[in-house]
Amino acid sequence: MTRQTVHLSWIFLLLLLLSSAAMARELPDFTVLVEKYGPAVVNISTKQKAQAHSQLRLPPGVPMPEFPEEGPWGDLFRHFFGNPGEMPDHPDREEARSLGSGFVIDSDGYILTNNHVVEGADEILVRLSDRREVEAKLIGADKRSDLALLKVEASGLPVVKFGQGDQIKVGEWVMAIGSPFGFDHSVSVGVVSALGRSLPSESYVPFIQTDVAINPGNSGGPLFNLDGEVIGINSQIYSRTGGFMGLSFAIPVDVALDVVAQIKDKGYVSRGWLGVLIQDVTRELAESFGMKRPAGALVAKVLKEGPAAKAGIEVGDIIVEFGDKTIDASSDLPPVVGRSRVGADTRVTVIRNGKKQSLTVRVEELPKEEELTLAEGKPAKSSDNALNVTVADLTPEQRKELGLEKRQGVIVQQVEEGPAQEAGIRRGDVLLKLNNVDVDNVAHFKRLVGELPAGKSVPILIQRRSGPIFLALRLPK
């Protein structure tokens, strides 16, 4: 190697080191943000009395047989008998615990988290950054946005500051703090991958997509920008393994603040409703409708007596503007309508027969889920009742097959351990009368169950293929 070659090699190495140092200086430093706002992040655990899993039990004194750990036979034994040594001391009841994150939004003790972290909890425990553990009260929750507002009896707590949802940009650095797998105040960083993502189960939330590592336990924790402002609430991940795979979704801050304000003001969250079923406009559909490019939300169905029907919106219309918002994809419409003020007259621009047309629609309040499914022509379904039974509305085909002329009854889809099972109700039974009152539909059934007296037997008329039969039902005291 010549002296000149050695000299050039040293120059190249020096330039490489200088370049690496410059790049390191350009990477964001999150240490100050963690020190300043990390104390506002809390760990949330819950306690819930839940029904034990339905498993077969061997007779008293009969030992559990040995079975292979791996393979299909092992899976089969575990499915029916559970794992050895894991049966609860009290087989009828077991205590379930969930773990998540949250953050303090008000120094008086208001805490924001995900609804699924605290849903169904009998007790909510919050562990603060100073290691204190306090019980929290659920102020209100919203299932559609997956948000819940808690309150603890404390003052002078460290709080976060909020950013603005319309200032978020794809590619900007973001940071999450939470308790993945129970490891308190874990920090992970990444960038915003996309905005306005619509997920199948949450059409009213335009999610922020990030590549920040989010795992079980991060749910409900804050997503910070480089200014230390909360711009989202970490809520979901896309995963085939149950762990992080590079796709995380956060609820935008503006959605969260609107939910918090409504819960504080009236105890529940109302949303605007248009009363249409929509689909995307594909390239082929755009061409068939005489459009230059795919855009808007194609109306596939207009619900009777809904706001859209009253405004003159028709099947085949393509909604391209709602108020001052451009609707570029069908997923853009539900969040925009949902955040519209109920009762407000809003201009809607549609493409009909290849021409733009302006209509005025008066936004109504989004109905409850049971009412909405009935309006859409789908059988409503419910498992949230004291009988611990899942029921659904009968389809016209089921009604015809059972010979039921009038609109009456709900069909049993699943029976868990509880009053319905003890009464002898089975899957496939049609519940016709409850406490001598005709059962109209799922919503009516839930209301009737809620009115049942505790500790007293009431008659329930069911229809089986063998014919109608009365059973005696008793709710525990």
Q: Which residues contact 88 (CB under 8 A, 6 or more apart)?
A: 52, 94
Encode burial over 295-305: b for 16+ CB neighbours within 10 A, e otherwise. Answer: bbbbbeebbee
Please say whether the beta carbons of 363 and 333 come within 8 A: no
Distance between CA atoms of residues 146 and 255, nearest Å: 11
Beta-bridge partner residues of 391: 382, 412
* Among 252, 269, 154, 264, CA closest to 210: 252
CA distance 459 to 425: 12
Q: Helix, strand, coil proportions of the chain in percent (round to 5)?
A: 25, 35, 40
Residues 127, 42 contacting (CB under 8 angstroms): yes
Active site positions, annotated:
116, 146, 219
Say which DSSP state 212 is in: S
**DSSP per-residue letters across 272-305:** EE--EEEEE--HHHHHHTT-SS--SEEEEEE-TT
DSSP string, 230-277: EEEEEEEE--SSSS--S-EEEEEHHHHHHHHHHHHHHSS---EE--EE
3-state secondary structure of 142: strand
322: three-class secondary structure by DSSP:
strand
- Asked if residues 333 and 278 have their Cβ atoms less than 8 Å apart, the reply is yes
- Residue type for position 388: N
